[in-house]
Every structure is written in structure tokens, then in C-alpha cells.
Chain A
Amino acid sequence: MRSIFLSLLLLFLPFVVMAQVTDIYQFNSVEQRQQFQGLMGELRCLVCQNETLLDSSAPLAADLRLIVYNRVLEGESDQVIIDYLTRRYGDFILYNPPMVQKTYFLWFAPILMLCIGFFLLVRLSKPAAQFYG
């Protein structure tokens, strides 16, 4: 029983930390807070590249967080804020690459390969079945 409780505690601990960090920022509404949290999850820290802007302790991340925060307070939309950042830092600042012509291959290649692999699996196993069938 205790081990279950302990496991649950450990599981939810990271969420407690996240709540504390975003509590530092005051917003005018729940929507603004959600917008900020949403954006933070989408934006990469360029210095500590595996961390989001929210998690990173790099000074640049702090600066960019503040910029995003102020823009959210001013009521700017997600797209406007993202444009501001990508015009300076490019698409790499986004965790999700944009869906444009040059990234179609990036987005669709995995599923395409999965389909090809599956197709081959079916095709290559058929002759054996016919032999024993």
C-alpha cells in the first residue's frame, strides 16, 4: 500500500514543480495563463536545446520568457508571438516544425516508412503461406 502511495507521489511531483514556476507570472485571466503555458511548451531554449523556454535556466531563456509573458499580457495571439520569435531565431525555436512544403518529408516520412514496411511484411510472408497452403 505504501509503495503505491509513494509511486503516485513521485509520479505527480514534477507537476507540482511546474505549477510553482508558472505561479511567478501573474495573468489577467485563466485564458492568458493557459496561452502562456501552451506557448512555453512549444518553444525550445536555444542554449539548452533539450529544454523548453519554461524549464531552461539559461539567461536568454529568461529574457525570451519575459518577452512572451509581456506579449501575452498585451493580448497578442499565439501566431503573432510565434512570428516575432521565428523572425529572429527561425523555425528551430519551435519544437514542432511548421507544416510547409519543405517539411512534408519530415512529417510524413515515418508513417510512409511504416506503411512500406507493413506492406513488405505482408507481401513477403504470402509465398510461404501459399507453399504450405
Chain B
Amino acid sequence: MIFKHKIVKYIPLAMFLILIIICWRGLSLNPREIPSVLINQAVPEFNLPELAGQDHLTVRDLQGKVTLLNVWATWCEACQEEHPLLLNIADQYHVPIIGVDYKDDPTKARQWLNDYGNPYQRVGLDQQGKVAIDFGVYGTPETFIIDKTGTIRYKQIGIMTQSDWDKTIYPLILRLRKS
């Protein structure tokens, strides 16, 4: 009876330690990063007018090769930070990047790309933001890795850094290219 009492006395401490561990883990997670539920699903259907020319950007333009889809805007300061890396990705790594210009002024967008360089093969205009909602976008910039079959394989929330590119994104692109 006494023996049992000795063990029982430590249960609250054990529970407290378990709680500490759970809280430690929980507090180290970033609530701003909401994992995408579209991973491993087909790209949602969309049809956007293009920034240049009279064509339309659709899902068919994402088939056949591994592409990056980057949601950006001229009013988004964080997107400007990411911009040099995107130029690098297009020029040096030869990864096609499709741009979705989110709730932006097309004239400003054209000017901006002219002034700072255009990393995009094509740019679709999502002026109402409806397509972004279909992609589960809740901030800019966001970048999706889409494989050859048009399936979303990864979502980068926020600015893509060189470190993100080197450690996660480019390796994944290479793996997807092989399959």
C-alpha cells in the first residue's frame, strides 16, 4: 500500500514533464505556416488572362515539365526580396517559372518587370484573387512546385531564400525531373 503510494506521488510530475515537452514542441511551430492541403493533388483548374499578349494561362501550361508557380504582386515588399533569387533560378538553373500576379495593376506589373527583370516565362493576371484562393494562398509570396503531370508537390510559404532553394526546393525539382 505504501509502495503504491510512492509511485503514485510522481504521476503529476510526470504529467507536467509530458506537458512541458508537448508545449515546447508546439511553441516552436510557426502558426503563420499553414501546411498546404493541396500537396499531391492536381493543380486546380484555372484560366487567367496573360500580362503580355492575348493568350490565356491554364493548367495545360503546367504540364510536361517541372515548373514553379510563383504568386506575387508589385505592392508586395517581400516579393521584391525574393525577386533576385527568381531571376537566378530562371537564368542559371533553367527552371521555368510561371507567375501569378495577385490583385495587381497590370500596367504597374509590366513596368516593374521591365525595370527589375522578368524571371517568368509567362504571367497570369489574378486581379480578383479567385485563382489564388483555389490554390489556398493566404499571403504573398507563395511558390508551388508542380511536377510533369501537373500535380502540386510542394508549397513554399513566404520568401524563398537561397537556403530554401539549396536545401529543399532544387533537390526536389531534380528528383521530380528524374521520375
Residues of B close to A120: CB separation below 8 A = 8, 11-12
Q: Is B85 an interface residue (CB 8 A)?
A: no
Task: Give the residue name and chain of the B residue nearest to A62 (CB).
Answer: B129
**Interface SS of chain A: helix, strand, loop or mixed?**
helix
Residues of A close to B134: CB separation below 8 A = 88
Residues of B close to A133: CB separation below 8 A = none
Across the interface, B8 reaches (CB within 8 A) one of A86, A90, A117, A123, namely: A123
CA of A120 to CA of B36 in the docked complex: distance in angstroms? 42
Across the interface, B34 reaches (CB within 8 A) one of A67, A89, A116, namely: A89
Task: Give the residue name and chain of the A residue nearest to B19 (CB).
Answer: A113
Q: Is A14 an interface residue (CB 8 A)?
A: no
* A17-62 interface (Cβ within 8 A of B): 46-47, 49, 59-60
Task: Give the residue name and chain of the A residue nearest to B130 (CB).
Answer: A63
**Interface SS of chain B: helix, strand, loop or mixed?**
loop
Residues of A close to B5: CB separation below 8 A = 124, 127
Q: Is B171 an interface residue (CB 8 A)?
A: no
Task: Give the residue name and chain of the A residue nearest to B139 (CB).
Answer: A47
Q: Is A82 an interface residue (CB 8 A)?
A: no
Across the interface, A92 reaches (CB within 8 A) one of B11, B12, B15, B34, namely: B34
Across the interface, B133 reaches (CB within 8 A) one of A49, A63, A117, A124, namely: A63
Across the interface, A87 reaches (CB within 8 A) one of B9, B15, B32, B37, namely: B37
**Total contacting residues, chain B, CB less than 8 A:** 22
* A68-123 interface (Cβ within 8 A of B): 86-90, 92, 113, 116-117, 120, 123
Give A108 Cβ to nearest chain B Cβ, in Å.
Answer: 15
A63:B129 contact, CB within 8 angstroms: yes
Task: Give the residue name and chain of the A residue nearest to B136 (CB).
Answer: A88
Q: Is B112 an interface residue (CB 8 A)?
A: no
Task: Give the residue name and chain of the B residue nearest to A46 (CB).
Answer: B138
CA of A46 to CA of B136 in the docked complex: distance in angstroms? 10
Task: Give the residue name and chain of the B residue nearest to A58 (CB).
Answer: B138
Residues of B close to A64: CB separation below 8 A = 133
14 contacts between A and B (CB under 8 A): A47-B139, A49-B32, A60-B138, A63-B133, A86-B37, A87-B37, A88-B135, A89-B34, A90-B36, A116-B11, A116-B15, A117-B12, A123-B8, A124-B9
Counting from the closest, the 5 A-B pairs by CB-CB distance are: A90-B37, A46-B138, A88-B136, A92-B34, A89-B136
In addition to A60-B138, A87-B37, 8 A-B residue pairs with Cβ atoms within 8 Å of each other are A46-B34, A60-B133, A88-B37, A89-B136, A89-B138, A90-B35, A120-B12, A123-B8
